[in-house]
Amino acid sequence: MAPYPCPEPGNAAFAASRALFDALITRLSDPRMATRPEHAVEEFIVGSGRDVLRQALQDHLDARAAAERRLAEVTGADQVPRRRAEPGHTRLLSTTLGQVEVTRIAYRRPGVSNLYPADARLALPDGRYSFPLQQAVVHETVTGALRQARDGLGRLLGARVGTRQLMQITTDAARDVRDFYPQHPVPAPAVRPGGQAGPRDLLVLSIDATGINMIDSGLRESPPVRDDGPQPPSAQLSCREHTGRTRMAVVTAVYDAAPAVRGPADIMPADATERATRRPGPKAVNREVDASIVDSTAPMTRRLFDRAQQRDPQHLRRWIVLVDGNNHQIDRINAEAHTHGVRINLILDFVHVLEYLWKAAEDLHPTQPGRAAFVARTARDLLEHHPARVIADLTSYYEATAQAGTTASGLKRCIDYLTAKQPYLIYQIALTMGWPIATGVIEGTCRYLVKDRLAITGARWSLPGAEAVLLLRAVITNGDIDAYWRFHLQQEHQRTHTSRYQHQYDLAA
């Protein structure tokens, strides 16, 4: 392909930007400027310097427009040749430096849309906002509220973008995330001191779900419609809880870990000596997270196992799956493990077990010291691989309370929970083999990936907006934002430009 002509700029090509730069230097050289404080000089340079840079970009675009060669014809993907060339067609482009005007030749034919080969060579976006500006918008909108993003962009870039436009840019920027990861290489497993990763190394998978406040159109089922007519007065100034206004976002995580052998005393130390000699647990490395509010548990679990399969295609490592007891998640995990032909080790999150034990302690002991002692003793028994004995002891306590006519709903829930999840209470085996027993990684992921952004005060989300923010936050958390943005630009060029022309190779940017 012949290179795009890049003639040397003449003296007049960048005259406007040179004039602005000379004016900036002249103003800085003024003796009166020497008496001003540094912060005032810095503010002046930032404001005036942005004008110089914007004009330099405008001059560059004007020079390229003046050098654009007229083609005999341009044939679109519709196989219709456009032979009529009209120079002087312009479009506005909002950039990180300000708004500029792009001038190029339009190739026309009655009855069909115009084609602009210069737009393809410049790799311009389909909309008004340049890709660097879009990338800046993404970083601002996925980390803070839209109004804060709008104000922050205005201060840093001098660009004023409305909140609706910010959300639309973010939604469009996330459209290629699902196509990015299947072709993106997985991180190489960490090499242990004895050599490469082997059968004893762990591949840990985890899944959880958390609620997000949605607008009515984003709910899985429409809320009930209230009857028309006046509503009775309420003494409440505001509704404390909006039931039925949340939708569950599914969050997954997969990471590598080396085994770290521990004992019950390392998890629940009984005295100061055991606390001083506690051994650390497995460390998560090469963590990769994913989240979605559109996809349910089934597709998210499938995607989690597909990504794990990419990390260990021959199933040489030990697959550990940490769960919080959700029956549907457990069913989907077992189904995906069968589909992928891999043996997994399901472990119930120990922290969730502790929560149930505390509920049982509230029914059995009136004081806090008694409850703490009961939880510590019972949890230690579970870690020493006595779940059947623990369940039997709790059952006897419950029968005694029932005979005394005392209600013990928390104790009953604890017994039912441990009984139903007994096959996954393999803590003694897990500690001996050096496996993790808590879902701290996925719990933390739910907090900073979802709650820290989508659960800010007063936030209610549309389905596309929430999904876009979740996907982009996951990409940023994984450290893949630069690789993803390059992939996204390639996909955008294909959609916006390459697909519109018959001879695609002539217009590659």
Strands, DSSP E only, in 8-124?
74-75, 81-82, 84-95, 98-108
Amino acid in position 25: I
CA distance 64 to 102: 9
Q: Residue 287 corresponds to which tokens in the numbers above?
A: 């963590």
Residues 284-333 pLDDT 10s: 999 999 999 999 999 999 999 999 999 999 999 999 999 988 999 999 99
The pLDDT assigned to 224 comes to 53
Q: What is the pTM of this model?
A: 0.85
The answer to whether residue 509 scores a pLDDT higher than 50 is no
What percent of the chain clears pLDDT 90, i.e. is strictly above it?
A: 68
Q: Lowest-pLDDT range, 232-236, 374-378, 457-461?
A: 232-236
Give the tens place of pLDDT for each residue, 83-130: 999 999 999 999 999 999 999 999 999 999 999 999 999 999 999 999
pLDDT at 331: 95
pLDDT higher at 5 or 309: 309
The pLDDT assigned to 193 comes to: 52
Among all chains, which residue has been given the structure tokens 């506005």? 92
In whole angstroms, give the CA distance from residue 167 to residue 163. 6
241 token code pair? 């809880």
Structure tokens at 192: 């242990």
Please give the radius of gyration of the chain, using alpha carbons only, rounded to the nearest integer.
31
Mean pLDDT of 482-506: 87
Q: What is the pLDDT of residue 229?
A: 55
pLDDT beyond 50 at 505? no
Identify whether the C-beta of residue 253 lies closer than 8 Å to the C-beta of residue 287.
yes
Beta strands 344-348; 318-323: pairing state: parallel
Residue 447 phi/psi, 5° resolution? Answer: -70, -55
Q: Strand 202-213's sheet: what is its strand order? A: 285-292, 246-257, 202-213, 318-323, 344-348
Predicted pLDDT of residue 503: 66
Q: Does the pLDDT at position 2 exceed 50? A: no
- pLDDT of 226: 53
Band of residue 401 on the pLDDT scale cut at 50, 70, 90: confident
pLDDT at position 6 is 46
What pLDDT was estimated at residue 64?
94
DSSP characters for 216-244? Answer: GGGSSSPPPPPPSSPPPP-S-SS-S--TT
- If pLDDT is split at 50, 70 and 90, which confidence band does 5 have? very low
> What integer pLDDT is reported at residue 270 of this predicted model?
86
Q: Work out the angle between the directed axes of helices 409-420 and 387-403 (0-180°, nearest 10).
A: 150
Cβ–Cβ under 8 Å, residues 165 and 152: no
Q: What is the mean pLDDT of residues 147-175?
A: 88
pLDDT of residue 165: 92
Q: Residue 4: pLDDT band by 50, 70, 90 thresholds?
A: very low
Dump pLDDT digits (tens) for 170-228. Answer: 999 999 999 999 999 887 776 555 545 555 689 999 999 999 998 887 787 655 555 55
Tens of pLDDT, residues 229-251: 555 554 554 555 455 588 999 99
Task: Output the pLDDT for position 459.
Answer: 83
pLDDT in tens, 59-82: 999 999 999 999 999 999 999 999
Q: What angle do CA 89, 94, 95 make, to 5 degrees?
A: 120
Q: What is the pLDDT of residue 233?
A: 55
User: Which residues are paired to 291 by β-bridges?
Assistant: 251
Say if strands 81-82 and 84-95 run parallel, antiparallel, or are unpaired.
unpaired
Residues 6+ apart with CB under 8 A from 175: 488, 491
Pairing of strands 318-323, 202-213: parallel
Q: What is the mean pLDDT of the chain?
A: 88
What is the distance between the alpha carbons of residues 207 and 251, in angstroms, rounded to a whole number?
6
Q: Which residue has the tokens 């005394």?
A: 404
Cβ distance 151 to 158 under 8 Å?
no
| pLDDT over 70 percentage in the chain | 90
Q: Decide which of 244 and 275 is more confident.
A: 275
Q: What is the pLDDT of residue 455?
A: 87
Rounded mean pLDDT, 422-426: 93
Q: How confident is the model at residue 12 (pLDDT cuts 50, 70, 90)?
A: confident
What mean pLDDT do residues 156-164 have? Answer: 82
